[in-house]
Amino acid sequence: MKILVTGGGTGGHIYPALAYVDYVKQSDPTAEFMYVGAKRGLENKILPPTGIPFKTLEIQGFKRSLNLAATKDNLKTVQLFLKSIQEAKAIVKEFAPDVVIGTGGYASGAVVYAAAKLKIPTIIHEQNSVPGVTNKFLSRFVNKIAVAFPDAAGHFPKEKTALVGNPRATSVVTVTPSEILRDYQLDPQKPTVLIFGGSQGAYRLNQAMLEAFPLFHGKDYQVLYASGDRYYAEIKEQKIDWSQLPNVSVQPYIDKMAEVMINCQLLIGRAGATSIAEFTALGLPAILIPSPHVTNDQQTKNAQSLVKAGAVKMLTDAELNGKLLVDTIDEIMQDDPLRKQMAQASKKEGIPDASQRLHALVNELTKK
């Protein structure tokens, strides 16, 4: 089977695609892949080390402003899109895939649209509870629409849409508990709270953590905080007596996030689709602080769907401070029945067989 995968711009579009590719490679070593992204997207850093054949298109997104400069940029965007469709058709014809899967981002718009026009079976995957512009556009042309959140299904034609989850869940569900917390000078036997704001960190979360550090003194749980590189130096410059906080470990970055997650009892972070797929697959309760800077406020809507399910508590970026954060952590960590109830709800929302479900759609379309 030959599968062309396209998506990029952010890790939220790229990592689910790569998780699906890994799953298929394990189940069918003869499968062939091609990945198509944008010339300036994050995929240019992530894809080359994977060894997957990789091509790019020059394409950009629309500006939402109404000024003259934005209008000129948007005219260029249209020109690039039309040109990229022709380039995408050439790539698709040369590779001759059995199916094309788009996971979002502007490059996937051109590639999936081109494939649909060439009568090749097409699938789009929507990671968020509210669809992005590209997938909304493509929904009219594709054969199947795979969604990660039940709430997203209402935005698409019912007859095309299937709930599959996020393939990142399949990648983490096989992880088992270990002694990895020792690598961060923490006790593997002690209840642990994992806090992170993404690979780059999050300003408001970091400011709240600076206020929260003294409040963690004497708690019967421990805290592992991944600050992101940009805030790590600032934290280390603070006049904090770390000898009084043996239950707190601050790291710039956590390399093996899934392995750490499985050894923790509570997760705190943003509400990105990839992170949600991971912690729900593991059945972790969470406190989510959605980023206010995401298009269509997608993270808030992602979090709200899990609040409704009883799996998480949500704090807004605007209200966040150290005392509120620690009080909310205490509310969960000091109430075992509540924490177990949230964990069960999280597990129920997780879809660990997401890659299998997505591949079932592929098999349905290709009849293989």
CATH number for the domain including 357?
Answer: 3.40.50.2000
**Domain hosting residue 66, numbered range:** 2-168+352-366
CA atoms of 207 and 196, how far apart (whole Å): 13
Has residue 194 been placed in a domain?
Answer: yes
Determine if residue 11 is labeled as part of a ligand binding site: yes
pLDDT-derived band at 236, boundaries 50, 70, 90: confident
Has residue 174 been placed in a domain?
Answer: no
Residue 77's pLDDT is what? 61
Same domain (yes/no): 64, 208: no
Same domain (yes/no): 190, 160: no
Same domain (yes/no): 123, 219: no
14: which 2 tokens?
């790229």
In the predicted model, is pLDDT for residue 264 greater than 90? Answer: yes
CA atoms of 243 and 225, how far apart (whole Å): 16
pLDDT-derived band at 330, boundaries 50, 70, 90: very high
Nearest residue to 192 (alpha-carbon basis) of 217, 215, 225, 232 = 225
Average pLDDT, the chain: 92
Give phi and psi for 161, each to the nearest 5: -100, 140
Determine if residue 299 is labeled as part of a ligand binding site: yes
- Largest Cα span, the chain: 65
Higher pLDDT, 65 or 220: 220
Give the mean model confidence (pLDDT) for residues 310-337: 97
Of 31-35, 93-97, 268-272, 364-368, the range with the lowest mean pLDDT is 364-368
Has residue 173 been placed in a domain?
Answer: no
pLDDT-derived band at 72, boundaries 50, 70, 90: low
Same domain (yes/no): 142, 271: no
Determine if residue 254 is labeled as part of a ligand binding site: yes
Residue 293's pLDDT is what? 86
Amino acid occupying residue 48: P
Give the mean model confidence (pLDDT) for residues 115-139: 95
In the predicted model, is pLDDT for residue 291 greater than 90? Answer: yes
Residue 368's pLDDT is what? 59
Has residue 30 been placed in a domain?
Answer: yes
CA atoms of 247 and 98, how far apart (whole Å): 53
Same domain (yes/no): 324, 356: no
Q: CA distances (Å), 105 to each of 127, 181, 239, in order?
A: 11, 36, 43
Rg, the chain, Cα only: 21
Determine if residue 12 is labeled as part of a ligand binding site: yes
Give the mean model confidence (pLDDT) for residues 22-48: 94
The 3 state secondary structure assigned to the chain is CEEEEECCCCHHHHHHHHHHHHHHHHHCCCCEEEEEEECCCCHHHHCHHHCCCEEEECCCCCCCCCCHHHHHHHHHHHHHHHHHHHHHHHHHHHHCCCEEEECCCHHHHHHHHHHHHCCCCEEEEECCCCCCHHHHHHCCCCCEEEECCHHHHHHCCHHHEEECCCCHHHHHCCCCCCCHHHHHCCCCCCCEEEEECCCCCCHHHHHHHHHHHHHHCCCCCEEEEECCHHHHHHHHHCCCCHHHCCCEEEECCCCCHHHHHCCCCEEEECCCHHHHHHHHHCCCCEEECCCCCCHHHHHHHHHHHHHHHCCEEECCCCCCCHHHHHHHHHHHHCCHHHHHHHHHHHHHHCCCCHHHHHHHHHHHHHCC
Residue 281's pLDDT is what? 96
What total number of domains does the chain contain? 2
Has residue 240 been placed in a domain?
Answer: yes
Residue 229's pLDDT is what? 87
In the predicted model, is pLDDT for residue 65 greater than 60? Answer: no
Q: Which pairs with CB-CB distance under 8 Å and at least 24 residues apart come from 140-144?
A: 141/112, 141/113, 141/116, 141/117, 142/102, 142/112, 142/116, 143/116, 143/365, 144/361, 144/364, 144/365
Q: ∠ CA 296-193-330 to the nearest 5 degrees?
A: 90
Question: Is 214 buried (19+), middle (13-18) or exposed (0-12) by CB count in 10 A?
Answer: middle
Same domain (yes/no): 61, 127: yes
Q: What is the pLDDT of residues 179-196, one digit of tens each?
A: 999 999 999 999 999 999
CA atoms of 26 and 56, how far apart (whole Å): 26
pLDDT-derived band at 71, boundaries 50, 70, 90: low
Same domain (yes/no): 255, 316: yes
Give the mean model confidence (pLDDT) for residues 296-306: 92
Residue 297's pLDDT is what? 87
Residue 73's pLDDT is what? 64
Residue whose tokens read 């508590």:
313
Residue whose tokens read 């642990």:
192
Same domain (yes/no): 108, 186: no
